[in-house]
Amino acid sequence: MTSSSAAPLPAHDRTGEVDGGSAAGGVDLAAARAAAVEAARLGVRMARTARSREVVETKGPNDFATEVDRAVEAAVTEVLRRGADVPVQGEELSPTEDAPTRWIVDPVDGTFNYAAGIPVCAVNVALLVDGELAVAVTAGLSAGVESGGGDAAGGDGDLPTDDVLVAVVGQGLARVLPRSEEVRTVSRVGARASAVTVGDVGWTTTGPWPAAVRAATIAAVAPAAGRVRIVGSSALELAWVAAGRTAGAVLFGNKPWDTFPGVLLVREGGGVVLDAHGEPWRPGADSVLAAADEETAAALVDAVRTGVRTAERRALG
């Protein structure tokens, strides 16, 4: 991969609206899709207009929840259950729920950014049916900055504030325009520039991706990409790959609320989703590697492997 645009995969051959009109596992996917879009938009409105972002729970170093996270999750859950009355796994209120058919919710993906007033965060929603991804929605939001009106951000691949990317399995990728019910099908996956996002270095010294391995991996990815960006929102990193804004994303984690919606968005856009070891992505993977095409995916996997080997050599002295 060079600084030129990554070559896009052929798009799913679809035009017009994505109707989401099929059923799976007894779940009406059209109703589920509509509820997911409504819920995500509600979450965006609540987060953007909240008067306080006070931290109410510290879960670990640089990992916390605000009162907004909890309020948004409760409100989003209520809307989702009107579309499909199944259990909900939410990051803040029900993280251990693991029913094979369930909603998955991250009320504010990128809470650290949100609390700091950095406008890089999103509401993330997915529906699993019998353990398989069926519906996904990612809605970008601005942390305390009113967004512009209309469709000013540009073409079909953009994901501006208040824009919603939505996918239903087998039906492609679409975007719902800001403050509108109009749906446009996203025509392709393919980066307009070869920027790649990489998960943050973090604080951990244990697990499969300790800080030293992450740092070495980032250093190895940099020469393979035109630009490397650390964003702080897994939801947006995957949505940007799906929408063709970036060439790829390497995420050092795979929590359902962080990554499952984006996995379906990238797949339905025609992209490639693996884990960072180069194996096919699965729910129990320890990482996510998404790319616009096979060539970009292979280059990123090679870079990650180089980074891991470098970190191992350094650890041995």
In a shared domain, residues 178 and 205:
no
Q: Which residues neighbour 266 within 8 Å (Cβ) at sequence distance 6 or greater?
A: 189, 238, 241, 242, 272, 273, 290
CB half-sphere exposure, 232, CA atoms < 13 A: 15
C-alpha to C-alpha distance for 124 and 284, rounded to whole angstroms: 19
- 57 and 33 in one domain? yes
Q: What confidence score (pLDDT) does residue 179 get?
A: 64
Q: Are residues 176 and 232 in the same domain?
A: no
Q: Is residue 2 part of a domain?
A: no
Task: Tell me: do 66 and 135 sit in the same domain.
Answer: yes
Residues 288, 244: contact at Cβ < 8 Å? no
Do the domain assignments include residue 291? yes
pLDDT at 88 over 60: yes
Mind listing the pLDDT tens digit for each residue in 106-130? 999 988 888 888 889 999 999 999 9
| 156 plus 255 within the same structural domain | no
Residue 193: pLDDT band (50, 70, 90) is low
The last residue of a domain, from among 140, 165, 185: 185
* Residue-number span of the structural domain to which 227 is assigned: 195-315
Examine the domain organization and report whether 212 and 289 are in the same domain.
yes
Phi, psi angle pair for 290, to nearest 5°: -115, 145
More confident residue, 96 or 117: 96
In three-state form (DSSP H/G/I as H, E/B as E, the rest C), the secondary structure along the chain is CCCCCCCCCCCCCCCCCCCCCCEECCEEHHHHHHHHHHHHHHHHHHHHHCCCCCEEEEEECCEEEEHHHHHHHHHHHHHHHHHCCCCEEECCCCCCCCCCCEEEEEEEECHHHHHHCCCCEEEEEEEEECCEEEEEEEEEECCCCCCCCCCCCCCCCCCCCCCEEEEECCCCEEEECCCCCCEEECCCCCCCCCEEEECCCCCCCCCCCCHHHHHHHHHHHHHHCCEEECCCCHHHHHHHHHHCCCCEEEECCCCHHHHHHHHHHHHHHCCEEECCCCCECCCCCCCEEEECCHHHHHHHHHHHHHHHHHHHHHHCC
Answer yes or no: is 14 within a domain: no
91 is in an annotated binding site: yes
Both structure tokens of 308: 């891991």
> Does residue 175 share a domain with residue 29?
yes
Cβ atoms of residues 171 and 269 within 8 Å: no
Q: What are 31-72's pLDDT values in tens digits?
A: 999 999 999 999 999 988 887 777 667 666 666 677 888 999
Q: Once rounded to an integer, what is the mean pLDDT over residues 275-288?
A: 97
Cβ atoms of 135 and 32 within 8 Å: the answer is: yes
Looking at residue 10, what is its pLDDT?
A: 32
State residue 142's pLDDT score: 58
**pLDDT > 90? residue 191:** no
Measured CA to CA in angstroms, residue 271 lies from 74, 217, 244, 301, 302 at distances of 32, 22, 9, 15, 18
- Of the residues 158, 185, 212, the one at which a domain ends: 185
> What pLDDT sits at residue 12?
34
Residues 96 and 179 in one domain: yes
Instruction: Write the CATH number for 139.
Output: 3.30.540.10
Q: How far is CA 311 from CA 66, 98, 215, 278, in A?
A: 35, 34, 8, 18
Are residue 216 and residue 295 in the same domain, yes or no?
yes
Question: What pLDDT is stored for residue 201 in this prediction?
Answer: 80
Which range among 6-20, 65-79, 190-204, 222-236 shows the weakest confidence by mean pLDDT?
6-20
Domain boundary among 133, 164, 185: 185
Mean pLDDT to the nearest integer, 286-305 = 95
14 pLDDT band, cuts 50/70/90, is very low
Mean local confidence (pLDDT), 71-79: 96
Q: What is the mean pLDDT of residues 135-140?
A: 96
User: Is the Cα dihedral 210, 215, 5, 136 positive or negative?
Assistant: positive
* Confidence band, pLDDT 50/70/90 cuts, at residue 13: very low
193 vs 305, residue with greater confidence? 305
pLDDT at residue 153 tops 70: no
Of 167, 27, 135, nearest to 84 by C-alpha is 27
pLDDT of amino acid 5: 33
How many structural domains does the chain have? 2
Residue 181 banded pLDDT, cuts 50, 70, 90: low
Is the model's pLDDT at 144 over the cut of 50? no
Q: Is 109 marked as a binding-site residue? A: yes
Q: Is 239 domain-assigned?
A: yes
Residue 116's pLDDT is what?
A: 83
So what's the pLDDT on residue 141?
80
| pLDDT tier, 103 (very low <50, low <70, confident <90, very high otherwise) | very high
Q: Does residue 94 sit in the same domain as residue 141?
A: yes
- Indicate whether 140 belongs to any domain: yes
What is the predicted pLDDT for the residue at 151? Answer: 36
Q: Please, how many CA atoms are within 13 Å of residue 118, restricted to the half-sphere of its CB?
A: 12
Q: At 60, phi and psi to the nearest 5?
A: 175, 180
Tell me the pLDDT of the chain averaged across its residues: 82
Q: What is the CATH number of the domain that holds 298?
A: 3.40.190.80
Closest alpha carbon to 106 in 257, 231, 260, 283: 257
Task: Pick 143 or 42 by higher pLDDT.
Answer: 42
